Amino acid sequence: MTQAYCVKCRKKVEIANPKEVKLKNGRPAVKGTCPKCGTNVFRIGKP
DSSP letter assigned to residue 10: T
Q: Are 30 and 22 in contact (CB under 8 A)?
A: no
pLDDT at 46: 75
- Number of structural domains found in the chain: 1
* First and final C-alpha spacing in the chain: 8
Residue-wise pLDDT for 1-47, tens only, equals 799 999 999 999 999 999 999 999 999 999 999 999 999 999 998 76
CB neighbours of residue 29 within 10 Å: 16
Q: pTM, whole model, 2 decimals? A: 0.83
Instruction: Please give the residue range of the domain that contains residue 21.
Output: 3-44
pLDDT at 16: 96
Count Cβ atoms within 10 A of the Cβ of residue 20 and give its class: 0-12 exposed, 13-18 middle, 19 or more buried.
exposed
